[in-house]
Chains A and B, each alone.
Chain A
Amino acid sequence: MDVFDPELLRSTLRLSTPLILAALGGVLSERSGVINIALEGMMLAGAFFGMLGSYLTGNALIGLLVGMTAGMILGFLHAVLTQNLKVNHIVSGVALNILSFGGTTYLLRMIFQHAGGSPPITGLSTWHIGKVLGDQNILSLSVPILVVLIGLLLFRSPLGLRLRAAGENPSAVAAAGISFRVLRYLAVTCSGILSGLAGVYLSLGQLNMFTEGMSGGRGFIALAAVIFGKWTPWGAAGAALFFGFFDALQMRLQGQAILGHAIPSEFMLILPYALTIIVLAGLVGRAIPPEALGSDE
């Protein structure tokens, strides 16, 4: 079996899509000055409620909207907690992650009398895009568009300029007569929407069911991609693709020897985390976060 073939590309895209979606959300939130470690919980909520919407209506698109809304509500909650109630961004993120994990498992047991997973549901419909790309759904197809749109929004529009200013120097934004809190509300709520969609992709685009804790740390890999990509949409998307590629590769290489040595798959799973630490350490380039990230003012 050849290691590098179109199937590897397809599985890279499959594994990267949720990472890119959540990472874009992370870029928006952090650029506006709000640390968002709740991407994980928002993704999990999106996956669960996406499943629930599709389960109840039999329509995956309605599921998508429900999952997106769930992510949006958590994003809004993160904004309320951090911006109005002045809760530390990390505390709010930790609490939302725990709430999402507890809440989705609670509901899973309550509704289906069954821990572990939901029954199979109708997934998102796919279109066949040629031999190489294979079948893609609405979410994976919209990813490149979203990267460009969010890039333009952040770096080519007045709103984006203000949003970035809210993350660099909120007092200057306030002095210009603009509420940086409104900008942050907008950015964090959007990050909830995007992470929710990332979760929807997991439950409605890949497995066609929900399993307990199915985000499985992808929200944190997305966060790593935000940093690795130096807080830009294309950088984060590139990093997410890179991480997705290595994930695809480790699945492909499981049990295979390279040059006579079997590479343990765990080592490749560690890669995104290890690389992020290395980048943060300044050993490969320097990752400089927005100036006012995590600040109250």
Chain B
Amino acid sequence: MKGQVMTQLADKNTHLSNFSQFDQSAAHAPAWLDSLRRSGIDRFEQVGFPSTREERWRYTNVAPIARMPFKLAHYDGQGTDLLDRYSFGDDAASELVFVNGHFVQQLSKLGRLSRGVFAGHLPDALESRSAQLEGALGRLADVEANPFVALNTGFIRDGAVIHIPRNVEIDQPIHLLFISTTSREPAVSHPRVLIMLEEGASGTVVESYVGGRGLYFTNAVTEISLEDRAQLDHCKLQQESGEAFHVSTTQIRLGADARYVSHAATLGGKLSRNDLNAVMAGQHADATLNGLVFIGGEQHCDNHTMLDHAEPNCPSHELYKHVLDGKASGVFKGKILVRSGAQKTDSKQTSKALLLSDDAVMNSMPALEIYADDVKCTHGSSSGPVDEEQVFYLRQRGVGLEAARHLMTYAFAADITRRIKVERVRRRLEEYMALQHGLPLDLRINDLASHDEAVKQL
């Protein structure tokens, strides 16, 4: 027991010592930000990393993260190759590029955004709107709720801030690209994102987390505040290196009649844990959570989602799909909380897993907590291999055995990707799926949109 406590202290010390270095280098922050960071690191010092004895962490052992002596990541001038690969180019209204957690102005594209829209990094935002940030940063993502949020909060410095004022609509996506480069020593970055949409505002934000090779740790926190009637289409695409650790928390608050759509995809990372919590804090708020996990090898991905119905008359929809190959393991814990008084809640949750090998494992746990009596909540969960009846049907029409299996896999995942409105994201996912599953060229669905269009003309 004593040995264990010692280990835990050593684990924490890595980050506490990072903080003392960081604290000096971030001396020019306003006092409120200093105390916010302090509250984060204090909380982390108090609780440390979670263990699998805790229910929320039962299926994900973060000891490999805790044990690793991560240094704070630095910008090393690298990453342009990854930028070339993942940049949205002209398809983004604005593209903020962070390398190893540091905003890199010369790689970013700060487009001319309309009427008071802000998309920039935290230091710039502090200059122009410090008071607004003081009320918003750290308000939704609670340091008490999750040790990783606490840790991230301790290291807030270079985050992304997006603010869309009242009734302003932005058509093109704003792209937040977080690049991690290979370094000699394992490094950690704590990306922080704050998205604020005022009443009636609407926009599209894509977060991409990408890496080349090597072991590193990304610990991201995103806070999203949607005031009444605001609408956000939000994509989070995780393509970290195959050895990386990725932990993220996304906390959303929806006002009345607000609409939030999330498309969260996990392709990379050796160990990923995503917490996605949406609170419907106004009537007729509408939340949609779509998730795709497409992993193999010894990758592990744990998605914890929460649909918190705090007010009446809110619909929510959730669909998570896992494709697990090799010895990959997936976890889905989907909680629907209907608070007392949240009558006429209409919530539908579905989790499906496709197991491509006998060694792949899926744990799917829906959790309904309902304190109102006039609600409609449904959930369904299924997991299994490719259906051989379906494969035979395809083969009987001339499609080869491997191609049939690939097609079934592709179709399973495409059910999620075709819902994604941002073409760059959709294409990137579909290309990845085609590549991973070696689909023969004549079976690739890369002209699906034009094909569908032609068929519609019938």
**A-B interaction:** no
State the A residues within 8 Å of B (CB).
Answer: none
